[in-house]
Amino acid sequence: MDACDREYRFWKRDPLAIMLSSDKAFFQKMEYIHHNPLAGKWNLAESPEDYLWSSANYYAHGLDPFGIVHDYRLD
């Protein structure tokens, strides 16, 4: 594990991963992830910010109850 890696990983390393090369692509993927818990299949929350395990509340209101969100805007 590289020294700059986090102690715990959420995503696994994947040699076939596709880099998001534009802000537009990144925002589209983040929007999908934030709205996925609202989908009819899951129906876990009324809004992205209501889903406890989402980073949507951080980006909307600056709230990170677990202290684990890495803000892409700081890169």
pLDDT in tens, 41-73: 999 999 999 999 999 999 999 999 999 998 888
Q: Is position 35 within any domain?
A: yes
Greater confidence (21 vs 38) lies with 38
Q: Is position 14 within any domain?
A: no
pLDDT of 1 reads 46
Q: Is position 51 within any domain?
A: yes
Question: 35 is in which domain, residue-wise?
Answer: 23-74
Q: Is position 65 within any domain?
A: yes
Q: Is position 8 within any domain?
A: no
Q: Is position 10 within any domain?
A: no
Q: Is position 11 within any domain?
A: no
- Give the number of domains in the chain: 1
CB 46 within 8 A of CB 38: yes
